[in-house]
Amino acid sequence: MPLAHFDGALAVVTGAGSGFGRAIALALAERGATVLAADIDLPSAERTVTLAKTLGPGGAAYEVDVADAAAMEAFAAEVKQAHRVPDVVVNNAGIAVSGPFLDHGVDDWNRILGVNLWGVIHGSRLFGKQMVERVNALPNKPDKPNFGGHIVNIASAAAFAPTRSLPAYCTTKAGVLMLSECLRAELASSRIGVTAVCPGFATTNIVKNGTFVGGDAAQRERIRTRGQKALKLRNYPPEKVAERVVNAIIKNKAVVPVNFEGHLLHALSRVSPASTRLLARIPVQ
Protein backbone atom coordinates (compact mmCIF):
# COMPACT_ATOMS: atom_id res chain seq x y z
CA MET A 1 0.00 0.00 0.00
CA PRO A 2 1.72 3.21 -1.17
CA LEU A 3 2.08 6.33 0.94
CA ALA A 4 -0.38 8.70 -0.71
CA HIS A 5 0.85 11.90 0.92
CA PHE A 6 3.62 13.09 3.18
CA ASP A 7 1.85 15.40 5.63
CA GLY A 8 3.10 14.46 9.09
CA ALA A 9 5.52 11.85 7.73
CA LEU A 10 9.01 11.43 9.15
CA ALA A 11 11.70 10.91 6.52
CA VAL A 12 15.35 9.92 6.96
CA VAL A 13 17.67 10.79 4.07
CA THR A 14 21.36 9.83 4.02
CA GLY A 15 23.88 11.77 1.97
CA ALA A 16 21.48 14.68 2.39
CA GLY A 17 24.14 17.39 2.39
CA SER A 18 24.14 17.85 -1.40
CA GLY A 19 23.13 16.41 -4.76
CA PHE A 20 20.33 13.85 -4.88
CA GLY A 21 20.10 13.68 -1.10
CA ARG A 22 19.48 17.39 -0.60
CA ALA A 23 17.02 17.54 -3.51
CA ILE A 24 15.08 14.54 -2.17
CA ALA A 25 15.01 15.95 1.36
CA LEU A 26 13.65 19.27 0.10
CA ALA A 27 11.08 17.60 -2.14
CA LEU A 28 9.77 15.61 0.82
CA ALA A 29 9.81 18.67 3.09
CA GLU A 30 7.86 20.67 0.54
CA ARG A 31 5.16 17.98 0.62
CA GLY A 32 4.84 18.11 4.40
CA ALA A 33 7.43 15.66 5.70
CA THR A 34 9.75 16.30 8.62
CA VAL A 35 13.23 15.50 7.31
CA LEU A 36 16.16 14.04 9.22
CA ALA A 37 19.16 14.88 7.07
CA ALA A 38 22.18 12.64 7.63
CA ASP A 39 25.57 13.28 6.08
CA ILE A 40 29.24 12.78 6.87
CA ASP A 41 29.52 16.58 6.43
CA LEU A 42 27.42 18.01 9.26
CA PRO A 43 27.42 21.68 8.11
CA SER A 44 26.06 20.56 4.73
CA ALA A 45 23.33 18.53 6.41
CA GLU A 46 22.47 21.53 8.59
CA ARG A 47 22.20 23.69 5.49
CA THR A 48 19.74 21.19 4.01
CA VAL A 49 17.60 21.36 7.16
CA THR A 50 17.68 25.16 7.07
CA LEU A 51 16.38 25.05 3.50
CA ALA A 52 13.78 22.43 4.47
CA LYS A 53 12.40 24.76 7.13
CA THR A 54 11.59 27.32 4.43
CA LEU A 55 9.48 24.72 2.61
CA GLY A 56 7.87 22.62 5.33
CA PRO A 57 8.14 21.44 8.94
CA GLY A 58 11.94 21.31 8.85
CA GLY A 59 13.71 18.57 10.77
CA ALA A 60 17.16 17.87 12.18
CA ALA A 61 20.69 17.26 10.93
CA TYR A 62 22.94 14.36 11.91
CA GLU A 63 26.60 13.65 11.24
CA VAL A 64 26.79 10.00 10.20
CA ASP A 65 29.24 7.83 8.30
CA VAL A 66 26.94 5.26 6.70
CA ALA A 67 29.85 2.85 6.26
CA ASP A 68 30.34 2.69 10.05
CA ALA A 69 28.07 -0.04 11.44
CA ALA A 70 28.27 1.24 15.03
CA ALA A 71 27.53 4.80 13.95
CA MET A 72 24.49 3.67 11.99
CA GLU A 73 23.25 1.60 14.95
CA ALA A 74 23.52 4.67 17.16
CA PHE A 75 21.87 6.87 14.54
CA ALA A 76 18.87 4.54 14.12
CA ALA A 77 18.43 4.31 17.88
CA GLU A 78 18.63 8.10 18.24
CA VAL A 79 16.04 8.61 15.51
CA LYS A 80 13.59 6.28 17.25
CA GLN A 81 14.21 7.75 20.71
CA ALA A 82 14.30 11.44 19.79
CA HIS A 83 11.61 11.30 17.12
CA ARG A 84 9.91 7.99 16.26
CA VAL A 85 10.10 5.22 13.70
CA PRO A 86 10.47 6.88 10.28
CA ASP A 87 7.83 6.49 7.57
CA VAL A 88 10.28 6.99 4.70
CA VAL A 89 13.96 6.10 4.54
CA VAL A 90 16.09 7.11 1.57
CA ASN A 91 19.50 5.39 1.48
CA ASN A 92 21.20 7.82 -0.86
CA ALA A 93 24.81 8.30 0.30
CA GLY A 94 27.23 7.23 -2.40
CA ILE A 95 30.72 7.74 -3.82
CA ALA A 96 32.53 6.85 -7.03
CA VAL A 97 35.85 5.18 -7.79
CA SER A 98 36.88 5.22 -11.43
CA GLY A 99 39.66 3.47 -13.31
CA PRO A 100 40.84 0.01 -14.38
CA PHE A 101 39.94 -2.90 -12.11
CA LEU A 102 43.57 -3.97 -11.74
CA ASP A 103 44.46 -0.52 -10.41
CA HIS A 104 41.83 -0.66 -7.67
CA GLY A 105 43.46 -1.38 -4.33
CA VAL A 106 41.90 -3.06 -1.32
CA ASP A 107 41.37 0.34 0.32
CA ASP A 108 39.50 1.57 -2.76
CA TRP A 109 37.21 -1.46 -2.62
CA ASN A 110 36.66 -1.21 1.13
CA ARG A 111 35.74 2.44 0.87
CA ILE A 112 33.23 2.15 -1.97
CA LEU A 113 31.70 -1.06 -0.63
CA GLY A 114 31.39 0.58 2.78
CA VAL A 115 29.48 3.61 1.54
CA ASN A 116 27.59 2.39 -1.52
CA LEU A 117 26.59 -1.09 -0.41
CA TRP A 118 27.08 -1.46 3.33
CA GLY A 119 25.54 1.98 3.87
CA VAL A 120 22.38 0.81 2.12
CA ILE A 121 22.46 -2.49 4.00
CA HIS A 122 22.78 -0.71 7.36
CA GLY A 123 19.98 1.75 6.62
CA SER A 124 17.63 -0.91 5.23
CA ARG A 125 18.33 -3.39 8.03
CA LEU A 126 18.06 -1.02 10.97
CA PHE A 127 15.14 1.12 9.88
CA GLY A 128 13.40 -1.78 8.13
CA LYS A 129 13.40 -3.66 11.42
CA GLN A 130 11.89 -0.66 13.21
CA MET A 131 9.16 -0.42 10.58
CA VAL A 132 8.29 -4.12 10.84
CA GLU A 133 8.15 -3.94 14.63
CA ARG A 134 5.82 -0.93 14.41
CA VAL A 135 3.45 -2.77 12.07
CA ASN A 136 3.42 -5.86 14.30
CA ALA A 137 2.73 -3.77 17.40
CA LEU A 138 -0.39 -2.11 15.97
CA PRO A 139 -3.79 -3.80 15.69
CA ASN A 140 -4.58 -4.37 12.03
CA LYS A 141 -8.00 -3.34 10.73
CA PRO A 142 -9.16 -5.20 7.59
CA ASP A 143 -10.85 -2.07 6.25
CA LYS A 144 -7.78 0.09 6.93
CA PRO A 145 -4.57 -1.95 7.01
CA ASN A 146 -1.49 -0.42 8.63
CA PHE A 147 0.99 1.30 6.35
CA GLY A 148 4.43 0.05 7.27
CA GLY A 149 6.61 2.61 5.51
CA HIS A 150 8.79 2.91 2.44
CA ILE A 151 12.50 2.41 1.81
CA VAL A 152 14.15 4.00 -1.22
CA ASN A 153 17.63 2.87 -2.22
CA ILE A 154 19.47 5.07 -4.70
CA ALA A 155 21.24 2.76 -7.15
CA SER A 156 22.27 3.93 -10.63
CA ALA A 157 21.87 3.24 -14.32
CA ALA A 158 25.31 1.66 -13.81
CA ALA A 159 23.45 -1.19 -12.08
CA PHE A 160 22.08 -2.24 -15.47
CA ALA A 161 25.27 -2.31 -17.51
CA PRO A 162 28.99 -3.02 -17.02
CA THR A 163 31.80 -0.66 -17.96
CA ARG A 164 35.55 -1.09 -17.86
CA SER A 165 35.86 2.40 -16.37
CA LEU A 166 33.71 1.88 -13.25
CA PRO A 167 34.06 -1.75 -12.11
CA ALA A 168 33.70 -1.04 -8.39
CA TYR A 169 30.90 1.49 -8.82
CA CYS A 170 28.89 -0.79 -11.12
CA THR A 171 29.39 -3.72 -8.74
CA THR A 172 28.07 -1.80 -5.73
CA LYS A 173 25.11 -0.34 -7.58
CA ALA A 174 24.13 -3.72 -9.03
CA GLY A 175 24.25 -5.00 -5.46
CA VAL A 176 21.95 -2.21 -4.29
CA LEU A 177 19.48 -3.07 -7.05
CA MET A 178 19.39 -6.77 -6.17
CA LEU A 179 19.23 -6.06 -2.43
CA SER A 180 16.23 -3.81 -3.05
CA GLU A 181 14.45 -6.49 -5.07
CA CYS A 182 15.04 -9.09 -2.34
CA LEU A 183 13.98 -6.72 0.42
CA ARG A 184 10.84 -5.70 -1.46
CA ALA A 185 9.73 -9.34 -1.60
CA GLU A 186 10.41 -9.89 2.10
CA LEU A 187 8.77 -6.73 3.42
CA ALA A 188 5.68 -6.73 1.21
CA SER A 189 3.69 -8.71 3.79
CA SER A 190 4.40 -5.92 6.31
CA ARG A 191 3.12 -3.33 3.82
CA ILE A 192 6.56 -1.79 3.55
CA GLY A 193 7.46 -0.67 0.04
CA VAL A 194 11.00 -0.85 -1.30
CA THR A 195 12.18 0.99 -4.40
CA ALA A 196 15.48 1.06 -6.27
CA VAL A 197 15.95 4.35 -8.11
CA CYS A 198 18.50 4.21 -10.93
CA PRO A 199 19.52 7.64 -12.28
CA GLY A 200 21.74 8.16 -15.30
CA PHE A 201 24.03 11.18 -15.57
CA ALA A 202 22.96 14.11 -13.40
CA THR A 203 24.45 17.33 -12.11
CA THR A 204 25.97 16.36 -8.76
CA ASN A 205 29.43 16.46 -7.17
CA ILE A 206 30.04 12.73 -7.53
CA VAL A 207 32.75 13.21 -10.18
CA LYS A 208 34.30 16.18 -8.40
CA ASN A 209 34.55 14.21 -5.16
CA GLY A 210 35.32 10.87 -6.79
CA THR A 211 38.51 8.82 -6.60
CA PHE A 212 40.41 8.09 -9.82
CA VAL A 213 42.95 5.28 -10.05
CA GLY A 214 45.42 4.24 -12.71
CA GLY A 215 47.61 6.38 -14.96
CA ASP A 216 49.50 9.41 -13.75
CA ALA A 217 48.18 12.39 -11.82
CA ALA A 218 47.75 14.51 -14.95
CA GLN A 219 45.73 11.82 -16.70
CA ARG A 220 43.50 11.30 -13.67
CA GLU A 221 42.84 15.01 -13.37
CA ARG A 222 42.08 15.21 -17.10
CA ILE A 223 39.46 12.47 -16.75
CA ARG A 224 37.94 14.21 -13.72
CA THR A 225 37.70 17.52 -15.62
CA ARG A 226 36.09 15.86 -18.63
CA GLY A 227 33.64 14.07 -16.41
CA GLN A 228 32.60 17.28 -14.68
CA LYS A 229 32.15 19.01 -18.04
CA ALA A 230 30.06 16.11 -19.33
CA LEU A 231 27.73 16.30 -16.33
CA LYS A 232 27.43 20.06 -16.77
CA LEU A 233 26.57 19.68 -20.44
CA ARG A 234 24.08 16.90 -19.65
CA ASN A 235 22.40 19.41 -17.32
CA TYR A 236 20.02 16.99 -15.64
CA PRO A 237 19.24 18.52 -12.23
CA PRO A 238 18.95 16.42 -9.07
CA GLU A 239 15.53 17.96 -8.49
CA LYS A 240 14.17 15.86 -11.36
CA VAL A 241 15.53 12.73 -9.68
CA ALA A 242 13.83 13.85 -6.47
CA GLU A 243 10.51 14.12 -8.31
CA ARG A 244 10.88 10.53 -9.47
CA VAL A 245 11.63 9.41 -5.94
CA VAL A 246 8.48 11.07 -4.60
CA ASN A 247 6.40 9.52 -7.39
CA ALA A 248 7.96 6.10 -6.74
CA ILE A 249 6.99 6.24 -3.07
CA ILE A 250 3.42 7.30 -3.83
CA LYS A 251 2.98 4.59 -6.47
CA ASN A 252 5.10 1.98 -4.67
CA LYS A 253 7.27 1.28 -7.70
CA ALA A 254 9.90 -1.44 -7.59
CA VAL A 255 12.59 -0.18 -9.99
CA VAL A 256 12.74 3.35 -11.38
CA PRO A 257 15.19 4.17 -14.19
CA VAL A 258 15.70 7.93 -14.47
CA ASN A 259 16.39 10.01 -17.61
CA PHE A 260 17.23 8.83 -21.13
CA GLU A 261 20.38 6.86 -20.41
CA GLY A 262 18.78 5.23 -17.40
CA HIS A 263 15.86 3.97 -19.49
CA LEU A 264 18.15 3.01 -22.39
CA LEU A 265 20.52 0.90 -20.29
CA HIS A 266 17.61 -0.68 -18.46
CA ALA A 267 16.01 -1.67 -21.77
CA LEU A 268 19.28 -2.93 -23.27
CA SER A 269 20.03 -5.01 -20.18
CA ARG A 270 16.74 -6.81 -20.72
CA VAL A 271 16.49 -7.17 -24.50
CA SER A 272 20.13 -7.14 -25.62
CA PRO A 273 22.68 -7.85 -22.86
CA ALA A 274 25.34 -8.37 -25.54
CA SER A 275 24.99 -4.71 -26.48
CA THR A 276 25.78 -3.60 -22.95
CA ARG A 277 28.87 -5.81 -22.95
CA LEU A 278 30.07 -4.15 -26.16
CA LEU A 279 29.47 -0.69 -24.71
CA ALA A 280 31.45 -1.72 -21.63
CA ARG A 281 34.62 -1.95 -23.71
CA ILE A 282 34.67 1.75 -24.56
CA PRO A 283 37.51 3.32 -22.55
CA VAL A 284 37.39 6.72 -20.88
CA GLN A 285 40.49 8.68 -21.78
Q: Phi first, then psi: give them for residue 88, nearest 5 degrees.
A: -130, 135
Report the predicted TM-score, pTM, of the whole model to 2 decimal places. Answer: 0.94
CATH number, domain containing residue 163: 3.40.50.720
Q: Is 1 a member of any domain?
A: no
For residue 122, being part of any structural domain is answered with yes
Strands (E), the chain: 10-14, 34-39, 59-63, 88-91, 97-98, 149-154, 192-199, 211-212, 255-258
Q: Is residue 102 part of a domain?
A: yes
Q: Is 236 a catalytic residue?
A: no
| 232 band by pLDDT with thresholds 50, 70 and 90 | confident
Domain annotation covers residue 216: yes
Whether residue 256 is contained in a domain is answered as yes
Q: Which domain holds residue 239?
A: 10-279
* Structure confidence at residue 42 as a pLDDT band (50, 70, 90): very high
pLDDT of residue 276: 93
Q: What is the mean pLDDT of residues 38-49?
A: 98
Distance, first Cα to last Cα, the chain: 47
pLDDT at 141: 63
Q: Cα(204)–Cα(232) distance, rounded to whole angstroms?
A: 9
50 falls within a domain = yes
- The total number of structural domains in the chain stands at 1
CB 130 within 8 A of CB 88: no
Selected catalytic residue, list 127, 169, 201, 212:
169
